[in-house]
Amino acid sequence: MANVAVVGAQWGDEGKGKIVDWLSERADVIVRFQGGHNAGHTLVVDGVTYKLSLLPSGVVRRDKLSVIGNGVVVDPWALVEEMERVKAQGVDLTPDRLKIAENACLILPLHGQVDRARESARGDSRIGTTGRGIGPAYEDKVGRRAVRICDLADRDLLEERVDHLLLHHNALLKGLGEPQVERATVVDSLMEIAPKILPYIARVWEVLDTARRADKKILFEGAQGAMLDVDHGTYPFVTSSNTIAGQALAGSGFGGGLGFVLGLAKAYTTRVGSGPFPSELFDEVGQGLGERGREFGTVTGRARRCGWFDAAMVRQAVKVGGVSGIALTKLDVLDGMKELKVCTGYTIDGERSDVLPASPTLQAKVRPVYETLEGWEESTHGARSWAQLPATAVKYIRRLEELIEVPVAMVSTSPERNDTILVRDPFVTG
């Protein structure tokens, strides 16, 4: 099976956009399978920067098919704005190049209103969502009251769906002291945007099955990271979907299986928003990582929290997500640091633990156990082969491999697409 899934092995923001774009040169079809426009991927191609949230990273390549799967929740206005933005940058987006699952659920403006109102009501216990309505949209999906993209083609059905939706959300908004939503406003706005979306909808499961039968190479692109997975992450400080590789199949309707799962991990650790972060740094070292790594969210602009590489957490993500190999990104951010630390495990009330516990109470008691490694003075920026890396950088990577128990398949040394060291091509199985 020459099908590859790319997923985050930390708390997201690991650099999936560049790696997926780099791999998409070898793929025929690129698929987004979960998340919404809370995800942010930044690509730098030939000096041009593309900022994507819903569109698969493969859209910048003219000869590839890009697919938004049923596991994605789609804000149609955000999608149209993003499509128009990349078109203005010279990307040719036609219904032949972009397919959107007809059974994908929609994010409506009221979802953002509910999201923000609930976060405000939580006060100091807020989760730290982007406020874009992702969570409420997924709740509507499993609550069987969502508006799906295919509903846009049938006004009578759409009005019925909206009625069910507002029965729930207006009661909630009223309880929170927020303005209620008018039915006509929702329906009219959806009917207005519908003609811009409907030409792209398709039976994605069928499109992917046809590609599989034709021996096409399919690349599945995840959003966020394993530790934000709604089941396996640091709950409740997680996203509202499954982010691990197993979701690639359910979130696209693909029955062909995966040949390789590539987990993305920075050479250090970052996190946006609230929640536990055992290896977080609050000193000038953490500040320096943030400044050199330009650690600001693509979508929110929020500064990311920074810390040492947490090998115990990544090892856990590897096991839960069936990761075959790691793409290590932002190695160059560590250039010039004489000493590096790696979190190899934790203590909880003085007892050693090699895993991050599920209980928030225990997570609050977690203290990192560090191993100190030698840094390097030389630059790794732009390196494209092992020979161009300092010996101590190679030693650092080898030690990470031992700790996370899977090999490093790729190393990224700058935001530029080609500044990548390929150790193993994920599309070459065996």
Instruction: Enumerate the active-site residues.
Output: 13, 41
Residue 393 is given by DSSP the state: H
User: Contact, 250 vs 286, CB < 8 A?
Assistant: no
Phi/psi for 52 (5° steps) reads -115, 145
Residue 296 is given by DSSP the state: B
**385-391 CB contacts, 8 Å cutoff, 24+ apart:** 385/421, 386/421, 389/331, 389/421
Nearest to residue 72, comparing CAs of 106, 122, 44? 106
Taking the alpha carbons of 226, 230, 235, 238 in that order, is the dihedral positive or negative? positive
Distances (CA, A) of 40 to 141, 338, 348: 22, 32, 34
Helix (H, G, I), strand (E, B) or coil at 167: helix
Helix (H, G, I), strand (E, B) or coil at 357: coil
Query: Residues near 282 by Cβ (< 8 Å), separated by ≥ 6?
Result: none
**234-238 CB contacts, 8 Å cutoff, 24+ apart:** 234/275, 234/276, 234/356, 234/360, 234/363, 235/358, 235/360, 236/127, 236/360, 237/127, 237/128, 237/273, 237/274, 237/275, 237/276, 238/275
Give the H/E segment covering residue 394. Answer: helix 391-404
Phi/psi for 144 (5° steps) reads 60, 35
User: Contact, 237 vs 274, CB < 8 A?
Assistant: yes
The beta strands (E) that lie in 222-349 are given as 260-266, 269-271, 305-307, 309-310, 325-329, 339-348
Rounded Cα gap, residues 82 and 394, in angstroms = 39
Cα 79–Cα 196–Cα 200 angle in degrees, nearest 5: 80
Query: Residues near 372 by Cβ (< 8 Å), separated by ≥ 6?
Result: 339, 340, 341
For residue 224, give the amino acid letter: Q
Rounded Cα gap, residues 388 and 374, in angstroms = 18
